[in-house]
Amino acid sequence: MAHSHDDHHKVPADVALRVKALETALTRRGYINPDTLEAIIDTYEHKVGPQNGARVIARAWNDPDFKSRLLDNASSAVGELGFGGIIEGTDVTVVENRPGLHNMVVCTLCSCYPWALLGLPPGWYKSFAYRSRAVSEPRSVLAEFGVELSPDVEVRVWDSTAELRYLVMPQRPEGTEDQDEAALAQLVTRNGMIGTALL
Ligand code: FE
């Protein structure tokens, strides 16, 4: 998944050392349990990621009843697939792309993001440039991601908060009518669910 907006954060060695020192100090004082810490890191590195959101979108494309439950109350509907709740404990709302309507998501304040469905946010999502420009000039930002929308397509920008996070349901690609859910899930990208890519 290589493109210009992807992040490639490297943690400087001195920062890594400081983190390690903090972890050791907190463990010695009994404030944290290293096993719990490992479990949390493992969750975010291996269990939580865009593949979860992709499964949700694929299910919705293939199951109209699930789709209406998802658009009506995503927090509850994603629970049917075993997502949400424990990791996040916040509400998620799914907004649907349609012909003539494109949705994109930002957190103007910081980096609120539907972790349980998308994993950790990419670096650009947290950048000041994206957070400020997504609202003031969404079409320019989209163009930089390679998303060229015709002027008659309405763009709606959704501002995620700590309490309410948004996920975009991309339009189902044409010619995928015969594909099953597993195959469909392969087509759904992280940026597609943020709204900074078309499928
Ligand atoms: Fe935030």
78 C-alpha vs ligand 1 centroid, how far in Å?
Answer: 21
Catalytic residue among 110, 132, 136, 140: 110
Beta carbons within 10 angstroms of residue 44's beta carbon: 13
Question: Smallest Cα–Cα separation from 98: which of 60, 22, 155?
Answer: 155
For the question of residue 107 being annotated catalytic, the response is yes
Q: So what's the pLDDT on residue 82?
A: 87
The pLDDT tens digits of the residues spanning 60-73 come to: 999 999 999 999 99
* Domains of the chain in sequence order: 13-43 (no CATH), 49-194 (3.90.330.10)
For the chain, helix, strand, coil in percent to 5 are 45, 15, 40
Catalytic residue among 4, 68, 112, 127: 112
List of residues 6+ apart from 43 with CB closer than 8 A: 87
Q: So what's the pLDDT on residue 188?
A: 97
Q: Report helix, strand or coil for 62.
A: helix
Residue 8 has pLDDT above 60, yes or no: no
Q: So what's the pLDDT on residue 1?
A: 40
For the question of residue 140 being annotated catalytic, the response is no
Q: So what's the pLDDT on residue 86?
A: 46
User: What band does 158 get if pLDDT is binned at 50, 70 and 90?
Assistant: very high
109 C-alpha vs ligand 1 centroid, how far in Å?
Answer: 5
137-151: average pLDDT = 96
Residue 182 has pLDDT above 60, yes or no: yes
For the question of residue 112 being annotated catalytic, the response is yes
For the question of residue 136 being annotated catalytic, the response is no
138 C-alpha vs ligand 1 centroid, how far in Å?
Answer: 18
105 C-alpha vs ligand 1 centroid, how far in Å?
Answer: 11
Residue 52 has pLDDT above 90, yes or no: yes
